[in-house]
């Protein structure tokens, strides 16, 4: 073992009895300043890390040990290759800004924001809450710049508004199914869906 405080190397038996010691403070061969590590191989070579002298010293002991046979050479394991994570879809925020008098204004305004430039596809399906199978779709396509918030206004035709009014039978409750797709120039598509209760 290295005796760092005394700048020397000591040898002990298995039960801790001192056997021998060598070294002293200095920079000559066999001298150490703050030795920090030691190894002994099966050939009896003692290697000491002599830290404050910025060197390693090797010594031959008088009685080399027996060296075991080296293990068979094996092929190295397959390398683990670093791979980049796959692209992520755009972060899409969609808010309905008007949910009343939809048939009166004949549009369904939505405030939309995306963190990357995308091509928007907007579909709003309006149908009576009363259970009628009648439904009308409002659609819109538009480009959206990265980080920009826009208000899009899918429009309801006069014919579609009249058809919904007839299906409502003087009631006003409608269901609006929103579907907004954001398609970037490359990478996966983001899809936003939501169902809202609105009034006509």
Transcribe 116-152 into DSSP letters.
S-EEEEEEEEEEETTS----EEEEEEEEE-TT-EEEE
pLDDT band at 25 (very low <50, low <70, confident <90, very high): very high
pLDDT of residue 74: 87
Average the pLDDT over each of 67-76, 84-93, 133-142, 170-179 and give the range with the smallest value: 67-76
Q: Is 84 helix (H, G, I), strand (E, B) or coil?
A: coil
Q: Which two tokens stand for residue 84?
A: 């980049």
pLDDT in tens, 99-116: 999 999 999 999 999 999
Q: Which DSSP symbol is given to 155?
A: B
Q: Which DSSP symbol is given to 189?
A: P
Q: Which DSSP symbol is given to 115?
A: S
Domain layout of the chain by residue ranges:
2-60, 92-199
pLDDT in tens, 122-153: 999 999 998 788 899 999 999 999 999 999 99
How many Å apart are CA 4 and CA 23, to the nearest integer? 11
Q: Which two tokens stand for residue 39?
A: 């190894």
pLDDT of residue 19: 87
CATH of 92-199, one of 2.60.40.10, 2.40.30.30, 1.10.287.950, 2.60.40.3880: 2.60.40.10
Nearest CA to 50 out of 12, 2, 115, 103 is that of: 2
pLDDT of residue 65: 66
- For CA atoms 161, 165, 171, 176, the dihedral sign is negative
Q: Which DSSP symbol is given to 10?
A: E
Q: Which two tokens stand for residue 169?
A: 């039978």
What backbone phi and psi angles, to 5 degrees, belong to 158? -60, -35
pLDDT in tens, 7-19: 999 988 888 898 8
Predicted model pTM: 0.58
What mean pLDDT value characterizes the chain?
A: 90
């Amino acid at each position: 073992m290295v005796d760092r405080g005394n700048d020397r190397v000591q040898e002990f038996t298995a039960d801790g009895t001192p056997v021998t010691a060598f070294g002293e403070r200095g920079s000559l061969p066999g001298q150490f300043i703050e030795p920090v590590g030691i190894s002994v191989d099966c050939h009896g070579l003692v290697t000491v890390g002599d830290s404050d002298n910025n060197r390693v010293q090797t010594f031959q002991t008088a009685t080399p040990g027996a060296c075991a046979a080296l293990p068979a050479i094996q092929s190295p394991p397959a390398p683990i290759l670093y791979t980049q994570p796959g692209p992520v879809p755009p972060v899409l925020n969609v808010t309905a800004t008007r949910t009343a008098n939809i048939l009166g204004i004949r549009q369904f305004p939505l405030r939309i924001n995306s963190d990357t430039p995308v091509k928007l596809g907007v579909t709003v399906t309006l149908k009576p809450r009363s259970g009628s199978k009648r439904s009308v779709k409002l659609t819109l396509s538009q480009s959206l710049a990265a980080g920009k918030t826009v208000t899009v206004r899918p429009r309801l035709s006069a014919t579609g508004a009249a058809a919904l009014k007839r299906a409502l039978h003087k009631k006003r409750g409608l269901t609006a199914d929103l579907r907004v797709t954001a398609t970037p120039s490359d990478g996966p598509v983001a899809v936003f869906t939501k169902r809202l209760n609105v009034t006509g």
